[in-house]
Structure 1
């Protein structure tokens, strides 16, 4: 619900109300950006009913939060949530953030080389798969904990943060130990038990859109994480499966402004999985920044032709660095547009 206070509400009364809400373990957000203070509250309906907040003298009226993804919605919080990953800030008016690395961690030398390329190109976060969900059971499935160790060492050497995917609850503690952002892959978008477990970690989490997930389903999946108290969510648009066969997936760039309208959490784009073809990654990356995404996650490799997985959608060093230079130009143009 949204509690709209009257103009006579004092700061002491607002503070006392916040203390009560906190004591009853309710989620709340105070918005004083307009003349009328609004406090959005989400939690146990019985508790909220028993508090009888509508009887307080300084409460003007109470309105419901209509959507099912309450904590994730703009109705709950009007300003942008900035996800802070050890000083790397994602969302709002923060600079466009790039996450880059290989589809899978193959060897120690390979991930160190990827980290070097990522850092020199301007990326702030190293991506890589230690556990790899593959369509075929005979395909390379990842180095598991050894891959996590390699990636952590490489990221630390080049002053990068780490994002990697967790496949199931059994490996959550292990992945959380080595990483800075937990990634939920498309196949797990509606693995609700995993989402709840990740929510309890309070760690930054990148939630990829399911291969056939609607935006409403995606938002509600995020709500499972937020409902456990984790308000460090990053949406990742990675393309959806349509009838089109010319590309691996259909990258839905319209999801960026839609998510930004409906939710306060940031959204980034994955052009590598979104199109699945190397030559189309750069134009879609540029379009992602132009449409207002807070960042992107892209696959790079020292030698994509020899990559153990997804080499066809992976950029080499030259391609990545050229793309990053063009992204810098787009960012300058966007800043000028905002001044108009």
Structure 2
């Protein structure tokens, strides 16, 4: 349930209304929009009479029920205003959101060694990327596959951050690792296999770094948004949704089926920013450029693209990785499409 306050409502009246609603056993959350303040009511609201709430203050414009089960993630919860997420990097603030320039994240699946991760960071930064992706901890289908270098890889990501000025996105797989990963990462990633690890979602929602939530391999959109709700309900409002392909019946030609139809659906349902990962979504580097362009055309706010200096020798996900040279060629093409879609391409400034 949301309470919409009238334009120009005094702050003292907003606070008084919140205090009154708190005595009803509710937890009002103040959402400041461009023109109005909205109070999101968390608690047992099913039996509440909206007319009774409207009588609390003459400054209340309307009281609305949020129809979706994902309350905080619902676009209705923010009066149809898109949220923006600001991430501070060595090269300045980067904004994720519907009304901001396209954001590019690039890098290898796994951090392999210092030379490789620094080289990739500098190359993708020069091409126009804003964030470096790289796995320190890697969930793998086989227990015998490379699982990442773990904690030692975090220091390599920190070195790459210093050398390039890029923000860092890396995955959290277990709750004990959250704090140490948050010391290095600018955005914490929850991978597809952990999308419904509710214990992890609750704990990661208690810290203040933005969270990239990847869609589970067999997750419906409702499943995905309810997973985001766990993070939001724990207190962290900064969640970015990442479509990375789902499992369907055809696995001969692509690793997954990239669900680009999810982008306009999400835009209608939620205020949260949307990223697309065409590398995992297809599994083959040949298809990454076309799916990247299609994602921008569909309204994506950000892209995550795997880049490796020598994909044939990559310790994980080599077949879906672009070379730095291919990434260099792709970025100007993406910039043109972004501009056509009104996303005004924004390059990071180079560190002195």
TM-score by length of 1: 0.91
Cα distance in 1, alignment partners of residues 76 and 311 from structure 2:
44
Residues 132 and 45 (structure 1), Cα distance of their counterparts in 2 relative to 1, 3 Å cut: same
Cα distance in 2, alignment partners of residues 70 and 117 from structure 1:
41
1:56 match: secondary structure: coil
| Structure 1 residues 250-276: Cα deviation after superposition (integer angstroms, max 9, x where no partner) | 000111111111111100100000000
* 1:65 has 2:69 as partner: no
- Range with greater deviation from structure 2 (173-182 or 15-24): 15-24
Cα distance in 1, alignment partners of residues 195 and 284 from structure 2:
24
> Which of 71, 80, 83 is matched with 2:82 structurally?
80
Shift of 1:221: 0.4
1:239 match: secondary structure: coil
CA contact (8 A) 1:2 1:38 kept: no
Shift of 1:75: 1.1
CA contact (8 A) 1:69 1:220 kept: yes
Cα distance in 2, alignment partners of residues 265 and 94 from structure 1:
13
- Range with greater deviation from structure 2 (56-65 or 264-273): 56-65
CA contact (8 A) 2:18 2:28 kept: no
| Structure 1 residues 149-170: Cα deviation after superposition (integer angstroms, max 9, x where no partner) | 1011111211100000000112
> Which of 272, 275, 286 is matched with 1:265 structurally?
272
Residues 3 and 138 (structure 1), Cα distance of their counterparts in 2 relative to 1, 3 Å cut: same
CA contact (8 A) 1:267 1:293 kept: yes
| Structure 1 residues 289-310: Cα deviation after superposition (integer angstroms, max 9, x where no partner) | 1111011011001111110111
2:30 match: secondary structure: strand
Residues 8 and 249 (structure 1), Cα distance of their counterparts in 2 relative to 1, 3 Å cut: closer
| Structure 1 residues 18-72: Cα deviation after superposition (integer angstroms, max 9, x where no partner) | 5656897532324564xxx5624232227x9699633324145533111110001
| Unaligned residue ranges in structure 2 (runs of 5+) | 345-352
Cα distance in 2, alignment partners of residues 201 and 335 from structure 1:
33
CA contact (8 A) 1:100 1:298 kept: yes
Shift of 1:329: 1.1
> Which of 217, 220, 224 is matched with 1:218 structurally?
224
* 1:147 has 2:164 as partner: no
- After TM superposition, the structure 1 = structure 2 runs for residues 121-136 of structure 1, keeping only pairs within 5 Å, are 121-136=127-142
2:216 match: secondary structure: coil
**Other-structure match for 1:103:** 109
| Structure 1 residues 87-107: Cα deviation after superposition (integer angstroms, max 9, x where no partner) | 111112211010001000001
Q: May I ask how many residue pairs the two structures share in their alignment?
A: 334
Residues 324 and 7 (structure 1), Cα distance of their counterparts in 2 relative to 1, 3 Å cut: closer
**Other-structure match for 1:203:** 209
Higher percent of residues as helix: 1
Cα distance in 2, alignment partners of residues 158 and 88 from structure 1:
15
CA contact (8 A) 1:102 1:128 kept: yes
* 1:243 has 2:260 as partner: no
CA contact (8 A) 2:100 2:343 kept: no
Residues 21 and 107 (structure 1), Cα distance of their counterparts in 2 relative to 1, 3 Å cut: farther
Residues 12 and 27 (structure 1), Cα distance of their counterparts in 2 relative to 1, 3 Å cut: closer
| Structure 1 residues 102-129: Cα deviation after superposition (integer angstroms, max 9, x where no partner) | 0000011110111011101100100000
Residues 93 and 60 (structure 1), Cα distance of their counterparts in 2 relative to 1, 3 Å cut: closer
> Which of 166, 173, 181 is matched with 1:167 structurally?
173
Cα distance in 1, alignment partners of residues 21 and 34 from structure 2:
17
Shift of 1:11: 6.2
Cα distance in 2, alignment partners of residues 332 and 274 from structure 1:
24
Residues 234 and 32 (structure 1), Cα distance of their counterparts in 2 relative to 1, 3 Å cut: closer
- After TM superposition, the structure 1 = structure 2 runs for residues 15-34 of structure 1, keeping only pairs within 5 Å, are 15-18=15-18, 25-31=27-33, 33=35
**Other-structure match for 2:291:** 284
* 1:308 has 2:307 as partner: no
> Which of 306, 321, 325 is matched with 1:299 structurally?
306
